[in-house]
C-alpha cells in the first residue's frame, strides 16, 4: 500500500514594492495637507487687537439673557444705515428704519422680552447714536415675558468727516465707517458725554473687522 502524502499549499500575497511606495507617499501627502490647514488657520485666526484690553470693553460672549440677540440685530443694521447715509447724505431717522422693518427698531421680529425697547436718534457732525432702552419692563413682566433690562447705543462714525467722538477704532484697512455697540446693564437715559465715564461698556468681539488701534483722544 503506497502512502499518499498530502501537501497543503498556502497562497501568500506580497504587495509589490511600488504599491508600498504609493501608500507611504499618499500618507505623507495627507499629513502635509493637514499641516497646511493648521498653518492657514493660525494665519487667518481673528486677531484680538481690541478685545477686552480696555477697562470699558467687554467681550460679546459675556452678554447674558437675550442681550446677544439685540447685539446681533444692531450689528446687522449697520450696513443699511451706512448705505442710506452714503446715498442720501444724512443719517436715517428712527422712523425711516422702522419703515424698512429693520430689526431691532421694529420689535415684531424680536423675542417678546425685547419688544419693549424704545429708540432715539442722537447725532453730531460726523457720527450718529441710536439709543435704545426697555421702557416697558413692568408691563412685559405682567404679561409673563422675560424683559431685558439693559440699555444700548449703536454708534456709527464717519472717519472721513473730520472730528469724531472718542474712543474709536482706527481701522488699518482705511474703511470709511466704524461702528460701536455700547451697553449699560441697567435701564438708563441717553448719556451725554463720554460713555465710558458713565458706566457703559463697549461690546467687542474677536472679529477681524474690529481689529485696529483704539484711539482714546487726539493725543493717542
Confidence at 142, pLDDT banded by 50, 70, 90: confident
Mean pLDDT of the 89-107 span:
95
Cβ atoms 157, 165 nearer than 8 A: yes
Mean pLDDT of the 178-197 span:
92
Confidence at 75, pLDDT banded by 50, 70, 90: very high
Least trusted range by pLDDT, from 109-118, 156-165, 201-210: 201-210
Which bin fits 102, alpha (ψ -120 to 50), beta or left (φ > 0)?
beta
pLDDT tens digits along 16-44: 555 566 655 666 556 455 544 544 433 43
| Most confident region among 21-25, 112-116, 152-156, 196-200 by mean pLDDT | 152-156
Other CB atoms within a 10 A radius of the CB of residue 169 amount to: 22
165: cell is 467722538
Amino acid at each position: 500500500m503506497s502512502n499518499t502524502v498530502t501537501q497543503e499549499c498556502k497562497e501568500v500575497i506580497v504587495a509589490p514594492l511600488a504599491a508600498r511606495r504609493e501608500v507611504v507617499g499618499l500618507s505623507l501627502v495627507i499629513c502635509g495637507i493637514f499641516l497646511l490647514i493648521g498653518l492657514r488657520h493660525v494665519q487667518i485666526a481673528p486677531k484680538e487687537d481690541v478685545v477686552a484690553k480696555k477697562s470699558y470693553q467687554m467681550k460679546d460672549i459675556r452678554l447674558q439673557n437675550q442681550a446677544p440677540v439685540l447685539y446681533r440685530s444692531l450689528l446687522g443694521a449697520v450696513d443699511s444705515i451706512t448705505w442710506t447715509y452714503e446715498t442720501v447724505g444724512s443719517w436715517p431717522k428712527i422712523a425711516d428704519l422702522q419703515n424698512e422693518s429693520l430689526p431691532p427698531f421694529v420689535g415684531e421680529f424680536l423675542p417678546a422680552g425685547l419688544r419693549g425697547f424704545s429708540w432715539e436718534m442722537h447725532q453730531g457732525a460726523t457720527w450718529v447714536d441710536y439709543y435704545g432702552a426697555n421702557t416697558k419692563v413692568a408691563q412685559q413682566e405682567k404679561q409673563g415675558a422675560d424683559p431685558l433690562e439693559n440699555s444700548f447705543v449703536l454708534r456709527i462714525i464717519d472717519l472721513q468727516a473730520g472730528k469724531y467722538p472718542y474712543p474709536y477704532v482706527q481701522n488699518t484697512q482705511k474703511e470709511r465707517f466704524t461702528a460701536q455697540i455700547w451697553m449699560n446693564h441697567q435701564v438708563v437715559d441717553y448719556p451725554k458725554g463720554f460713555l465710558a465715564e458713565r458706566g457703559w461698556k463697549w461690546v467687542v468681539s474677536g472679529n477681524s473687522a474690529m481689529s485696529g488701534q483704539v484711539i482714546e483722544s487726539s493725543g493717542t
